[in-house]
Amino acid sequence: MNQLASELREWIEGNGLGKFEGLTGGGHLRYKLRNGSCLTTSSTPSKYSAVANAKNQVRRMLGMRSESPRAAKYRHESKIAGYDGRNGSPDYGMPPEVARLRSAVEKLDNEILRLHPRRDAKRLRVLAERRIHLADQLDRLGVIVPKPGIPAHA
């Protein structure tokens, strides 16, 4: 294990993100992350960017935010536009609870958009309250919740 690989190991274990499990049959390093997922990395990363990419992969797998200035700027612009880039592959590396809550919010959004504001006002109110509750749970987990779309009949 070279210096860059040991730096990654210290970062993962030092921040309580997971633990080192050992080497794979091919000589790669295997980590078990705190959400139960496994990360396999090179045992001899040749560039600092390989370690930075592995750190970002850990953050994505745990549903954490990236610390890079570029990611922060993108997150800010995306938040204004109401788009969360992590929705591209919704369940990849996400903790099961976050994936479940996101799926429930998406289903509620689809159902809300199908309702008519006057004819289905009571049902709309119930679903909106349920969505707010789920969005609050996601917010407490540190996950950005995209805004629902605008219905066609509005």
Cβ distance 134 to 108 under 8 Å?
yes
Q: Would you state the pLDDT for residue 122?
A: 92
The more confidently predicted of residues 1 and 103 is 103
Query: Taking a C-beta distance cutoff of 8 angstroms, is the pair 127, 108 a contact?
Result: yes
pLDDT tens column, 18-60: 899 888 888 888 999 888 888 888 888 878 888 888 888 888 8
Residues 56 and 7 in one domain: yes
| pLDDT score, position 133 | 92
Answer yes or no: is 48 within a domain: yes
Same domain, 95 and 134: yes
**For residue 66, is it within any domain?**
no
Task: Please determine, for residue 152, whether its predicted confidence score (pLDDT) is greater than 60.
Answer: no
80 in any annotated domain:
no
The answer on 13 and 47 residing in a single domain is yes
Domain boundary among 13, 46, 61: 61
Please report whether residue 78 resides in a domain. no
Give me the pLDDT at residue 73, please: 59
Task: Please indicate, yes or no, if residue 76 is contained in any of the structural domains.
Answer: no
Query: What pLDDT is stored for residue 67 in this prediction?
Result: 63
The number of distinct structural domains making up the chain is: 2
Instruction: Give the pLDDT of residue 106.
Output: 85
79 occurs within a structural domain: no
Domain that holds residue 99: 86-140
This prediction's pTM: 0.44
The answer to whether residue 149 is domain-embedded is: no
Mind listing the pLDDT tens digit for each residue in 74-127?
A: 555 555 444 445 444 444 556 788 888 888 888 888 888 888 888 989 999 999
Q: How far is CA 64 from the centre of its chain?
A: 6
- How sure is the predictor about 70, in pLDDT bands with cuts at 50, 70 and 90? low
Q: Do residue 100 and residue 134 come from a single domain?
A: yes
Same domain, 127 and 93: yes
Indicate whether 62 pLDDT > 50.
Answer: yes
